[in-house]
């Protein structure tokens, strides 16, 4: 199936639940979803549209617009198309549900995003320090206003 067909079918199925769905270029799609329907749309992408292979998850910080965006990268093994699944959260209260119920392998990536940006994932099974030392007191390194070096003992 071509990328245009997939995007049109996603738009028809979830018209009110997504903010936008676009084709970035050949074999790259992008879906931005509203915060209330995060888990539902993810489950339908996995079951109906065939996006079963999770690749990674990361975040981007936009301090001038007062939001942070969390992006998940999912692949469809038959059509070999890569989808970026995005959600915007406000910068002072970055809470969102965890996607480990839908794709289990995103657990490492959510732990890293919590350390680097400060996202709070509700329902994550195992949120313990991942890449930084356990006694880190310096803040969230990948935010744009991170000053200074790490603060440990």
Interface ranges with other proteins (CB under 8 A): 24, 26-28, 52-56, 58, 60-61, 71, 73, 77, 80, 82, 84, 103-105, 107-109, 126, 128-134, 138, 141-142, 146, 148-150, 152
In the complex with other proteins, the residue whose CB is nearer, 17 or 115, is: 115
CB of 45 to other proteins, least distance (A): 14
How many angstroms separate the CA atoms of 85 and 21, rounded?
A: 9
DSSP state of 93: S
What is the DSSP track for 23-82?
EEETTEEEEEE-GGGHHHHHHHHHHTS---EEEEEEEEEETTTTEEEEEEEEEETTTTEE
Query: 115: which 2 tokens?
Result: 């350390």
CB of 2 to other proteins, least distance (A): 15
CB of 7 to other proteins, least distance (A): 16
The DSSP bridge pattern shows strands 67-76 and 81-90 to be antiparallel
In the complex with other proteins, the residue whose CB is nearer, 26 or 93, is: 26
25 to 16, 29, 30, 83, 148: CA distances (angstroms): 24, 7, 10, 11, 38
In the complex with other proteins, the residue whose CB is nearer, 36 or 153, is: 153
For residue 93, what are the contacts with CB-CB under 8 A and spacing of at least 6? none
In the complex with other proteins, the residue whose CB is nearer, 38 or 117, is: 117
CB of 57 to other proteins, least distance (A): 9
CB of 113 to other proteins, least distance (A): 10
In the complex with other proteins, the residue whose CB is nearer, 123 or 150, is: 150
């Amino acid at each position: 199936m071509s990328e245009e067909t997939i995007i049109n079918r996603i738009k028809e199925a979830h018209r009110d639940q997504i903010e936008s769905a676009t084709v970035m270029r050949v074999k790259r799609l992008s879906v931005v979803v509203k915060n209330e329907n995060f888990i539902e749309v993810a489950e339908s992408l996995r079951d109906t549209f065939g996006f079963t292979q999770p690749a990674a998850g990361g975040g981007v910080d936009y301090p001038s617009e007062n939001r942070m965006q969390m992006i998940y990268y999912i692949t469809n093994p038959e059509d070999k198309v890569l989808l970026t699944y995005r959600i915007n959260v406000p910068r002072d209260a970055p809470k969102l549900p965890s996607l480990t119920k839908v794709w289990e392998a995103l657990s490492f990536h959510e732990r890293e995003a919590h350390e680097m940006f400060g996202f709070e994932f509700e329902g994550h099974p195992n949120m313990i320090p991942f890449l930084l030392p356990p006694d880190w007191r310096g803040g969230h390194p990948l935010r744009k206003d991170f000053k200074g070096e790490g603060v440990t003992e």
